[in-house]
Amino acid sequence: MTWLWSNLDEVGELMLVHLALSVPAVILSLVFSIPLGWTAHRYAWSRGVLLSIAALLYAIPSLALFVSLPPLTGFGLRSPMNLVIALTIYGVAVMVRTAADAFDSVSREVRQSATALGYSASGRFWGVELPLAGPVLLSGLRVVIVSTVSLATVGAVIGVPSLGSLFTDGFQRGIQAEIVTGIVATILLALVLDLVAVLLGRLLLPWTRTPSGRRASQERAMETTERVAGAA
Amino acid sequence: MIEFRGVSKQYPDGTVAVEGVDIVIEPHTTTVLVGSSGSGKTTLLRMINRMVDPTGGQVLIDGTDVATVDPVRLRRGIGYVMQNSGLLPHRTVVDNVATVPVLTGVSRKQARARALELLDTVGLERSLADKYPSQLSGGQQQRVGVARGLAVDPNILLMDEPFGAVDPIVRSELQQELLRLQGELGKTVVFVTHDIDEAFLLGDQIVIMQQGGRISQAASPAEILAAPADAFVADFVGAERGKRSLHLTEVDGRTVVVDGDGRPAGVLAP
Ligand SMILES: Nc1ncnc2c1ncn2[C@@H]1O[C@H](COP(=O)(O)OP(=O)(O)OP(=O)(O)O)[C@@H](O)[C@H]1O
Ligand SMILES: [Mg+2]
């Protein structure tokens, strides 16, 4: 505890740095997964290809990815950008399948009904399919948040500062309290971001708050989470 | 007026859903497409708003081939009510009803005000306006579906088994409501059902479909009862089974009408 009090500033700063690494990666993962997931949902032939690529990407050891990216992207090994890109790749790899499932979860009937009402293809996507895919997308996003926040710590090994630096530093200098602080801070950060996602979900997906609406979307989200957990 | 001219539809997988269909639907009348499952009723209905394009023949609305009309614009001008209401689960009742007007550029405020009036029209409490579809009973959802179909005041209203998913009592209520509405609004209604009684109740013209998407007979209910075109129609409308044959008997000096099962159906008006 004394270690924490005398290093509070540094821990706070690392927390912000960690946040600055993970939040962009989480957002980018979502942004890229949506069109990829939609494609996998819409075109049956692309599903196998996209999901296999995602699984392959996820199988690349993280350190190997960190060191092999710089020549491809032009960013330095210790650049935070390098880490954000790597985290985004993993995020997309985790999220694509859920995004495909999310669009699958929108019933055929509702899609046909939207078409009959006179939605254009793009209007239907933004006005009907995307919002209705929301609950399942959210469940996938929560998995991405936790995995990204945790994976970002690995950056410390190649010299990108984050809460992970507390592990490496604490390990090198033999300070137990520093390591424990790093673990607790990482978990806290993940929980806070998860909470933010849930609150945003309640705000943006108000219909899921009605008793029967909640039941329906919870069932769908649960099925998906189980599948994601099973795959991981 | 809606006209089907030699219309056929073969789906890409080879299924022939509709074959050589000719129908003329007069304005301000109700035409009911009736037939067993898979006889091509939905396919036929969806050709009117181009959710399905025919592979042969033409569908015309007031003389214009719908194939020449932009499908999105066409659909926004035609009301469509589906089985299980097809409401958008993420929109409140009032926003569901206001969907198409908003799509066509009416201000949200105006569209909502009109939507509230439409709730009155279909006999729904305005207090339901801000609920989500999942909070409504099946019958209420169906009424919202009808209100939504009427939202742009379309000349044409397409209804695909709109009352198929509700219990018989609610169903009968909704049928009466539709008759009342139709009396007031005089839309050109094309209604799909596989319930022949519903067809007789609602239809000015009844189109009986058989497997393979062919028309067995298209005529008024009375004509179909009086002169079924073939054994299939006779069987389908229940004429053969004596279900619809009524008899007269004398009871205490009055003439009572009894149905095929011997149950009294009414008294004969003098
Ligand atoms: N998209 C499609 N692709 C291939 N075949 C189809 C498609 N839609 C319908 N069919 C087939 O066309 C035939 C007619 O279908 P349709 O949906 O028009 O029947 P229906 O009379 O509305 O039946 P129901 O009473 O069950 O709704 C059926 O054999 C059906 O399997
Ligand atoms: Mg049908």
Predicted local confidence at residue A187, as pLDDT: 96
CA distances from B28 to A31, B145, B154, B203 (A): 49, 20, 11, 12
Q: With an 8 Å Cβ cutoff, are A113 and B90 in contact? A: no
- Separation of alpha carbons B169 and B149, rounded Å: 23
pLDDT digits (tens, 9 = 90+) for B41-53: 999 999 999 999 9
Report the DSSP pairing between strands B188-193 and B214-219.
unpaired
**Mutation site for A-interface testing, chosen from B50, B74, B88 by largest number of A Cβ within 10 Å:** B88
CB atoms B88 and A109 under 8 Å: no
pLDDT in tens, B21-74: 999 999 999 999 999 899 999 999 999 999 999 999 999 999 999 999 999 999
The upper half-sphere exposure of residue A183, i.e. CA atoms within 13 Å in the direction of its Cβ, equals 6
Residue nearest (by alpha carbon) to ligand 1 atom 30:
B38
Among A22-26, A218-222, B227-231, which stretch is predicted with the lowest mean pLDDT? A218-222
Using the predicted structure, report yes or no on whether residue A219 has a pLDDT greater than 80: no
Average pLDDT, chain B: 92
The pLDDT confidence band at residue B245, using thresholds 50, 70 and 90, is confident
Least CB-CB distance to A132: which of B76, B82, B89? B89
**Closest listed residue to residue B145, CA positions, set B76, B87, B192:** B87
Give the minimum alpha-carbon distance from A80 to chain B in angstroms, rounded to a whole number. Answer: 39
| DSSP annotation string for B28-77 | T-EEEEEESTTSSHHHHHHHHTTSS--SEEEEEETTEEGGGS-HHHHHHT
B80 touches chain A (CB under 8 A): yes
What's the pLDDT tens digit per position in A133-192?
Answer: 999 999 999 999 999 999 999 999 888 999 999 999 999 999 999 999 999 999 999 999
> Domains of chain B by range and CATH?
2-240 (3.40.50.300), 241-270 (no CATH)
What is the pLDDT, as a whole number, of residue A232?
42
- Which one has a higher pLDDT value, B166 or B70? B70
Q: Is the CB of B137 under 6 A from ligand 1?
A: no
What was the ipTM of the complex prediction?
0.87
How confident is the model at residue A228, as a pLDDT? Answer: 53
- Answer whether residue A218 shows pLDDT above 60: no
Nearest CA in chain B to A128: B88
Q: At B178, is the pLDDT very low, low, confident or very high (cuts 50, 70, 90)?
A: very high
Each residue of A21-66: pLDDT tens digit?
Answer: 999 999 999 999 999 999 999 999 999 999 999 999 999 998 889 8
Judging by beta carbons within 10 Å of its beta carbon (0-12, 13-18, 19+), is residue A230 exposed, middle or buried? exposed
The mean per-residue pLDDT over the stretch A107-130 comes to 95
For residue B226, the distance in angstroms to the closest alpha carbon of chain A comes to 37
Instruction: Say what the pLDDT of residue B103 is.
Output: 94
pTM (predicted TM-score): 0.87
Tokens matching residue B228: 């079924």
Q: Across all residues in chain A, what is the average pLDDT? A: 90
Segment (H or E) for A152: none
